[in-house]
Amino acid sequence: MAKPLQVEVYNPNGKYRVVSTKSMPGTRWINLLICTEKKTILSVEDIISLIGNKCDGVIGQDWGERLFSALSRAGGTAFSNMAVGYNNVDVDAANKYGVAVGNTPGVLTETTAELAASLSLAAARRIVEADEFMRAGLYDGWLPNLFVGNLLKGQTVGVIGAGRIGSAYARMMVEGFKMNLIYFDLYQSTRLEKFVTAYGQFLKANGEQPVTWKRASTMDEVLREADVISLHPVLDKTTYHLVNKERLSKMKKEAILINCSRGPVIDEAALVEHLKANPMFRVGLDVFEEEPYMKPGLAQMKNAVIVPHIASASKWTREGMATLAALNVLGKIKGYPIWADPNRVDPFLNENSPPPAACPSIVNSKALGLPVSKL
Ligand SMILES: NC(=O)c1ccc[n+]([C@@H]2O[C@H](COP(=O)([O-])OP(=O)(O)OC[C@H]3O[C@@H](n4cnc5c(N)ncnc54)[C@H](O)[C@@H]3O)[C@@H](O)[C@H]2O)c1
Ligand SMILES: O=C(O)[C@H](O)CO
């Protein structure tokens, strides 16, 4: 039996009842909706008790059959993940109960790519190790060999999954650090290729070494050739343990591996063994296989930089995610159609004008036969 919860209620006499299972930043989403809950991580039982007998929609994360069934019994038809990745949502169960599932694409792209770039730099230049050394009072004076790391300029950055975030990260590393690009994706990223070509021409015209790009035909090609490899695919059956013991062994001994996608894309136990055996190999991780836990040994590895799933944690992005999630739920409740292009959600984020009368991004709109907006 769930304990009674302290709930913050906005607009108690409102026509609809929408629940947010996590406290979200900013106020725009509240103005667009709702009520929120102070506690941060709720159990399934807590959420069911919050849904109660009447609930039109919910914003949350990690939803399965029991929650969709409870929402449907309470008359609800709308759920939005406050995230772009929805591997943590049982969309088949949502379809079964006729519940629309929203996500928050686009607004996280640059913020997440920036964290991947930050981890790349932190790993390459051993920033966390050096910070710990300094705080421990171990610094005696400048030494030629103190925390020597890797220069990125002229090296090769490898991107696995060159979608929105992977492409943004690739552009940052190519333009910011003049790295050459090799990428692997199921689809060609023509815009990214054009960007690198144009930047290479610009550098050449200025008498500098041009940057280059290559679309790899296999992932192993990226692993063999790149000096820094960043993972940005969705998590599904094809990407589970995409990086395993065998693939780690194909990477350069001094390579850097970054993961801001989903933890299970890497076999984390195999990674810990690889880090132990290869002290010059470095890793930057935002996500973990069994969050919030880490596999034994990872926390002790000096060659790992580890942060708690904060890739999308910039103020602008988190407020934007909350806004998109609220608009997904609100739009569905109001019977609005679905926005035609989830890669172009800017009109929903402009605080100076009312949002379009549409749901920004509903991932199961086709399965539910929901109409597409003509806007
Ligand atoms: N750490 C975080 O806080 C955080 C923040 C945002 C997104 N993410 C994760 O990043 C993922 C990507 O987000 P996005 O907006 O760039 O999505 P996206 O759909 O634009 O890009 C995903 C790319 O992965 C590619 N892909 C799919 N299967 C592949 C495979 N087997 N091999 C290689 N490439 C493959 C797709 O073709 C696509 O180009 C999300 O699904 C989410 O899980 C994490
Ligand atoms: O998929 C996402 O959006 C992230 O994991 C949350 O920032």
Query: Active-site residue among 262, 274, 282, 318?
Result: 262
For atom 1 of ligand 2, the residue with the nearest CA is: 85
pTM of the model: 0.92
109-164 pLDDT, tens per residue? 999 999 999 999 999 999 999 999 999 999 999 999 999 999 999 999 999 999 99
Is the C-beta atom of 109 inside 6 A of ligand 2?
Answer: no
CA 283 to centroid of ligand 2, rounded, Å: 20
Q: Are 88 and 264 in contact (CB under 8 A)?
A: no
Q: Are 49 and 70 in contact (CB under 8 A)?
A: no
For atom 21 of ligand 1, the residue with the nearest CA is: 163
Is the C-beta atom of 321 inside 6 A of ligand 2?
Answer: no
- The two structure tokens encoding residue 162: 């060159």
95-116 pLDDT, tens per residue? 999 999 999 999 999 999 999 9
**Ligand closest to CA 232:** 1
- How many angstroms separate the CA atoms of 283 and 171, rounded? 20
**Ligand closest to CA 113:** 1
CA 53 to centroid of ligand 2, rounded, Å: 30
CA 84 to centroid of ligand 2, rounded, Å: 5
**318 catalytically annotated:** no
- The two structure tokens encoding residue 239: 């990407």
**215 catalytically annotated:** no
Is the C-beta atom of 85 inside 6 A of ligand 2?
Answer: yes
For 237, other C-beta atoms within 10 Å of its C-beta total: 5
Q: What is the pLDDT of residue 34?
A: 47
187-219 pLDDT, tens per residue? 999 999 999 999 999 999 999 999 999 999 999
- How many angstroms separate the CA atoms of 231 and 222, rounded? 11
Beta bridge partners of 283: 257, 304
Q: Are 255 and 279 in contact (CB under 8 A)?
A: no
64-73 pLDDT, tens per residue? 999 999 999 9
**Residue 182's pLDDT band (boundaries 50, 70, 90)?**
very high
What ipTM, to 2 d.p.?
Answer: 0.99
* CA neighbor of 210 nearest in space, from 219, 218, 221, 199: 199
Determine the residue of 61, 84, 88, 323 to mutate for testing ligand 2's pocket, defined as the one with the most ligand atoms within 8 A of the Cβ atom.
84
**274 catalytically annotated:** no
> Mean of the pLDDT values across residues 333-342?
95
370 phi and psi, to 5 degrees?
Answer: -85, 145
Residues 6+ apart with CB under 8 A from 334: 357
For atom 7 of ligand 2, the residue with the nearest CA is: 312
